[in-house]
Amino acid sequence: RRAGQKIIDKKGAAELMGEMTTRGATLCFIADQDAGKKGIFVDFFGRKASTYKSIGLLAITNNIPIGVGYSRRVDNRFYFEIGVNRVILPEEWAEKDEPLEWITAEYTRAIEKFVREDPSQYWWLHRRWKHRPKEEREK
């Protein structure tokens, strides 16, 4: 809280996030987690991964850009480089047939790009591909 961050519980988060963006707040998400059966399935390292819709929905609804950031540990100490490796602007998805899917795939590609640059920085133990697309589950 010292630097102004506020952690939001998932329950009731949609309304609160909308209010926060209206006030000009910056929102951050841990975007590389499995989103369960209700997520959008986009490619992550060549395999479909359930990905949260909330980032894209928030951006589309409020016409706001998305900055895809990263945190890189420096010299195995408790120092981190924090940066943004992709900014996705509203005009990029304005003419897309499926803007939500496009945004979700685009920010996932940006995450993958960072991971490819330095795989040792990624938390490979979490189950990113836990849930499978409906077509795969029905086989």
107 contacts 88 by C-beta, under 8 angstroms:
yes
Strand partners, 50: 41
Give yes or no for a contact between 130 and 34, defined as CB atoms under 8 angstroms apart.
yes
Would the pLDDT of 1 be above 80?
no
| Residue 55 confidence (pLDDT) | 93
Kindly state whether residue 62 falls inside one of the protein's structural domains.
yes
21 domain-assigned? no
Query: What is the domain extent for residue 123?
Result: 28-137
Our count of domains for the chain comes to 1
Each residue's pLDDT tens digit, 85-112: 999 999 999 999 999 999 999 999 999 9
